[in-house]
Amino acid sequence: MSDVAVVVGGGQTLGAFLCEGLAEAGYRVAVADLNGENASKVASSLNDKYKTGTAKGFQVDATCEESVKALATSVAATFHQVNLLVYSAGIAKAAPITHFPLNDFELSLQVNLIGYFLTAREFAQIMIREGIKGRIIQINSKSGKMGSKHNTGYSAAKFGGVGLTQSLALDLAEYGITVHSLMLGNLLKSPMFQSLIPQYAEKLKIKPEEVESVYTAKVPLNRGCEYQDVLNALLFYASDKASYCTGQSINITGGQVMF
């Protein structure tokens, strides 16, 4: 049987693109999202495009322990194995620190960090139980390596993700399970980036329509990060070719971050 990938946050945008790319690469895909309707739509389009049984949608709140446990049970009952967990769920709330609401800071930690911890814990148990030398890959951000103005909650949570990845890698090495974070540059066309444009325009004191070009100019390779760039790295680190790599935070930033 083909390998099984679980994509948390797979209901839209980057997560949905990764589900499609994984199905294309031969994985069966558990598409999990807070928005269960979106998860089911993504799964059903994969079943139409590839073959029935390729994918199934699941509703989950990754920040809720009971919900994540229920997801792990349902995925195991459906697919009987898990080879790859991709944690793509994320949320970005921007405001200057002087006005940053505690609720938004806590929500950033919950979705970007706690959800990663809970899903990694539950799906690692399945990999260990089934004797699978699996892969856990977190979708992180360059804001997990460099502070980000007006993004204290997001950046703090993504930095936390790097420590969690390294610690998971140490805990899971004895089982042959490897763990990585992918540190993305700005996905300029994504709804997440687009939603932050008004705040970025205010922060930089420029017009909203100038924001994208300012962000592109910061990138040595002179373009924003694309979903395909992320998929390319994901497929490599999920593969046997990367079996000697673990605990890494891999930059996909066009050279904007080099450490």
Ligand X SMILES: NC(=O)c1ccc[n+]([C@@H]2O[C@H](COP(=O)([O-])OP(=O)(O)OC[C@H]3O[C@@H](n4cnc5c(N)ncnc54)[C@H](O)[C@@H]3O)[C@@H](O)[C@H]2O)c1
Residues annotated as catalytic (active site), given as ranges: 154
Using CB under 6 A as the binding rule, the residues of this chain from 135 to 164 that contact ligand X are 139, 141
- Residue 253 makes contact with ligand X by CB under 6 A: no
Cα 221 to Cα 141, 194, 215, distances in angstroms: 17, 21, 12
- Residue 181 makes contact with ligand X by CB under 6 A: no
- Residue 251 makes contact with ligand X by CB under 6 A: no
Pick from 30, 60, 136, 179: which binds ligand X (CB under 6 A)? 60
| Candidate ranges 22-30, 86-94, 163-171, 243-251; the one touching ligand X (CB under 6 A) | 86-94
CA angle 239, 27, 30 (to 5 degrees): 115
| Candidate ranges 126-134, 164-172, 184-192, 238-246; the one touching ligand X (CB under 6 A) | 184-192
Pick from 155, 190, 199, 253: which binds ligand X (CB under 6 A)? 190
Determine if residue 82 is left, alpha or beta; phi over 0 gives left, psi from -120 to 50 gives alpha, anything else beta: beta
Using CB under 6 A as the binding rule, the residues of this chain from 61 to 80 that contact ligand X are 61-63
Pick from 70, 95, 192, 245: which binds ligand X (CB under 6 A)? 192
- Residue 12 makes contact with ligand X by CB under 6 A: yes
Q: Would you say 11 or 254 has its CB closer to ligand X?
A: 11
Cα 242 to Cα 15, 70, 235, 256, distances in angstroms: 22, 30, 10, 24
How far, in Å, CA of 30 to CA of 85, rounded? 9
Q: Would you say 86 or 169 has its CB closer to ligand X?
A: 86
Cα 243 to Cα 118, 130, 135, distances in angstroms: 24, 18, 9
| Candidate ranges 31-39, 97-105, 205-213, 239-247; the one touching ligand X (CB under 6 A) | 31-39
Q: Would you say 13 or 40 has its CB closer to ligand X?
A: 13
Pick from 21, 57, 115, 134: which binds ligand X (CB under 6 A)? 115
Residues whose CB falls within 8 Å of the CB of residue 252, separated by 6 or more in sequence, listed in order: 182, 183, 184, 185, 225, 229, 230, 233
Pick from 81, 151, 152, 186: which binds ligand X (CB under 6 A)? 186
**Count of beta carbons in the 10 Å neighbourhood of residue 7:** 33
**Count of beta carbons in the 10 Å neighbourhood of residue 239:** 12
Pick from 53, 101, 163, 191: which binds ligand X (CB under 6 A)? 191
**Count of beta carbons in the 10 Å neighbourhood of residue 217:** 8
Of 181, 186, 177, 196, nearest to 226 by C-alpha is: 186
Shortest distance, CB of residue 258 to ligand X, whole angstroms?
Answer: 17
Q: Which residues pair with 1 in a beta bridge?
A: none
Instruction: Report which DSSP code applies to 235.
Output: H
Q: Would you say 178 or 181 has its CB closer to ligand X?
A: 181
How far, in Å, CA of 187 to CA of 125, rounded? 32
Footprint of ligand X (CB under 6 A): 8-9, 11-15, 33-35, 38, 60-63, 88-91, 111, 115, 139, 141, 184, 186-187, 190-193
